[in-house]
Amino acid sequence: GRSMKLYSDPDEPRQPEVVQFELEEWIDSSPFERLLGVQILRAEEGQAHLSLPFTLKLSNGGGVMHGGALTSLADTAVAMAIKSLLPPGTVFATTDLSMKFVAPVFEGQVHAYARVQETGVRTFSGECELLGEADETYALLTSVFKIASQDK
């Protein structure tokens, strides 16, 4: 049989398998967001509006848009709202999120409307509503983001 090395030697230096992706602009889509089809329509003054079309590639076995795609859209919208307030190059990450699914998405565009506020030292809270083309509510997200410490 063929043997496969599942774990790397912890003493070997790790080599990156892919070149680090660089965004063309501070407010731009990452490779994952492009794969999903997320479009950034607006991001300014702590608010953002993004959209994602329903496609079969994004559906689950029941034929509705996968909750992971909806969560990614909402999380990305909050991140773009935060980026609108921070200087380019600032490193931050989602540390907590909660998603409430209200109705299934069968077709059309899903619109994400996000807003954020600074809630502490290097901390932002965000919320995002996912709405359909007739303003029907699909899901609601609340999240917390932390900005990485610049101290070395």
Q: Are strands 123-131 and 137-147 parallel, antiparallel or unpaired?
A: antiparallel
Chain length of the chain: 152
Instruction: Return the structure tokens found at 73.
Output: 């859209």
Stated pTM of the model: 0.85
Tens digit of pLDDT for each residue in 36-54? 999 999 999 999 999 999 9
Instruction: Return the structure tokens found at 16.
Output: 């990156």
Tens digit of pLDDT for each residue in 127-142? 999 999 999 999 999 9
